[in-house]
Chains A and B, each alone.
Chain A
Amino acid sequence: MQISINWYLLLSAVLFTIGVLGVLFRRNAIIIFMSIELMLNAVNLLLVAFSSYLSDSKGQVFVFFIMAVAAAEVAVGLAILMSVYRNSKSTDINSLNKLKG
């Protein structure tokens, strides 16, 4: 291992922050979903970095589980978005204020 783990920590922090920025910055619900994927991947990268650094394969197995959860989340989330689009004819999150009362 030639690269210090601190560089991976920094890279993951930056990628995670870009994901947070995407959630705050955009109004399209699909782009917000993609930003959440970006945040999950930042965490995955850090898990793999630590697993490789400590020579422990448990971290990489955790990444598999995160991938399975991400796949389930995307399938259900996109189905919800489709039904939202069918009702309101847009994926703008500002139109989702019906629960406001």
Chain B
Amino acid sequence: MTTYLFYFLSFLAIMFALMVVLSKNPIHSVLYLVLTFFAIAGHYVLLNAQFLAAVHIIVYAGAIMVLFLFVIMLLNLNKETEPHKSLWLKGMAAVASGSLLVVLVGSLKNAGQMQAAAPYNGSIGLIENLGQTLFHEFLLPFEVASILLLGAMVGAVMLGKKSIK
């Protein structure tokens, strides 16, 4: 059952990710990317990371993709204004990324079989364990992340202003 769910979610994720790249209309790309994120959130649930799945949906599908959607609608991008590369460049892009995939898969094929941790702990994805790790071992990076977000906010406001006096 879990295996079939894994295959189904993987199929959905790869399908929608390809549609993000290949669809002509930028709005459709955004919507397909949201669907890709939902498939990845399904993978997180499958991996016993329930809290991360919820955060993933809230942050990515709820915040980041809405930001993308706003910008695309604000700039009024649609199928007609969409620039396209020449067919030759598109072919070369496909060849280049195909070779990258071949190299990655080839190197992963020789990777040894890894053994799972002996006493499998299914509760590490719960909020209690994550909070313990985050606020004990990663307290300094957590605080630095808040400074990063503040800097990004100030930078976005500065860049978004019409003119800086």
Residues of A within 8 A of B (CB): 1-7, 9-11, 13-22, 24-28, 30-31, 33-35, 37-38, 41, 44-45, 48-49, 51-58, 60-61, 63-65, 67-76, 78-83, 85, 90-92, 94
Contact = CB atoms under 8 A, between A and B. Distances in A.
Interface in B129-147: 129-130, 132-134, 137-138, 141, 145
A96 to B, nearest CB: 12
Interface string B126-165: 0001101110011001000100110111011101100000
Given A21-B94, A49-B47, A79 B134 contact: no
Closest 8 CB pairs of A and B: A72-B152, A24-B93, A79-B159, A21-B97, A55-B117, A22-B21, A55-B121, A52-B47
Interface of B, secondary structure class, is: helix
A12 to B, nearest CB: 9
A14 B14 contact: yes
Contacts of B96: 20, 24
A28 B30 contact: no
